[in-house]
Amino acid sequence: MNCPLCGSIDTGKVSTNQYYCWNCLVEFNMGGPNGFTAYNVDEEGTLVAINALQPSQAGEEQLTLEI
């Protein structure tokens, strides 16, 4: 499984249709309305959808991520 954000093959399966990318450090699931949904994992382990992040919440990595 390649990461839909960065294309890396360094991904691991977390659960059914849910994966983690070790390259861009996001968790994602396949089969959403756009094909996939990506999540940032916060300090407490809560998943926050990347499209729900405000610019002040997103780290520089998410803001400069090239798709």
List residues bridging with 38 in a β-sheet: 28
The predicted pLDDT at position 64 comes to 42
| pTM for this prediction | 0.68
Q: Tokens 């990318």 appear where? A: 21
Q: What is the mean pLDDT of residues 51-63?
A: 50
The predicted pLDDT at position 36 comes to 85
Could you list the residue range(s) of the whole structural domain that residue 37 is in?
11-63
**Alpha carbons 22 and 66: distance in angstroms, whole number:** 16
Q: Report if residue 5 sits inside a domain.
A: no
Interval 17-56: pLDDT, tens: 899 999 999 999 987 666 888 899 888 989 998 875 555 4
Which one is predicted more confidently, 29 or 57? 29
Q: Report if residue 53 sits inside a domain.
A: yes
* Total number of domains constituting the chain: 1
Q: Report if residue 2 sits inside a domain.
A: no
Report CA dihedral (40, 45, 46, 49) to the nearest 10 degrees.
10
Q: Report if residue 34 sits inside a domain.
A: yes
Which one is predicted more confidently, 6 or 51? 6
